[in-house]
Amino acid sequence: MNALKHIKVLHIHDRQSNEDYGVSELKEYCKNFYEANDCYRGIELYKEEKPEIVIYNVSFPKISNEEFIKKIKQINEKAQVIITTQSLTKEKLYNAINFHLIKYLIYPFNLNTLLDSLKDCIRSIDSNTSNIIKLSKTFTYDRFNKTLFKDEKLISLSAKEMDFFHLLVKNKDRAVSYEEFNQIIWEGEMTKDALRSIVKDLRKKIDKNIIKNISGIGYRVNL
């Protein structure tokens, strides 16, 4: 992952964390990798080095995750923060929507999962775009955490519905072809009925005009 060689990464962790799930291996990928064992030292180091990405896994922080993010965002509102956590609540996911550029990783994860999250962060940095997509006045989608909200309510999606919708949003500037859905989501075993069923069920949960059918081609998200 050559892009990481040119990115500064700050890892803030405490001594309560016995496992880092591949975080230490990032040193092999990152030329500029910094560490802090205390959230306040982490903030000071952030001010000094101005890293593009922060990985935060403090088990018993002296300040809450929300307070920590606010302090980082006050320094750089475009800061990319990956928070590792034992569990993920609706409140945390909604906070991610509000703060932007926040990715949650649930233990246990591995180096590949962590690298995928870093790739998301780097793409956001390169494109200078947010991971938060406003679909309509009431619906919001978080590309990093793959969550869909209607106002403050988290919309429950099945695994297939989420894969389908994420593929649409990921390619929001074009139509996604039937063949792409077939290969990426169904691994070559898609039926027309299965695809129609996914679209039908999704349209019951979100505004019907958000998913648009492009005749003879496939579907696209209508923003």
**Separation of alpha carbons 200 and 57, rounded Å:** 40
Comparing 19 with 73, the larger pLDDT belongs to 73
CA torsion sign for 12, 129, 162, 182 is negative
Flag whether 144 is in a domain. no
Are 118 and 180 contained in the same domain?
no
The string of pLDDT tens digits covering residues 35-56 is: 998 888 999 999 999 999 999 8
Are 108 and 185 contained in the same domain?
no
Flag whether 145 is in a domain. no
Are 76 and 173 contained in the same domain?
no
The string of pLDDT tens digits covering residues 130-168 is: 899 999 999 999 999 999 999 989 999 999 999 999 999
The CATH code of the domain that includes 173 is 1.10.10.10
Average of per-residue pLDDT across 98-125: 88
Phi, psi of 188 (to 5 degrees): 85, 5
Q: Provide, rounded to the nearest whole percent, the portion of the chain with pLDDT above 70.
A: 95
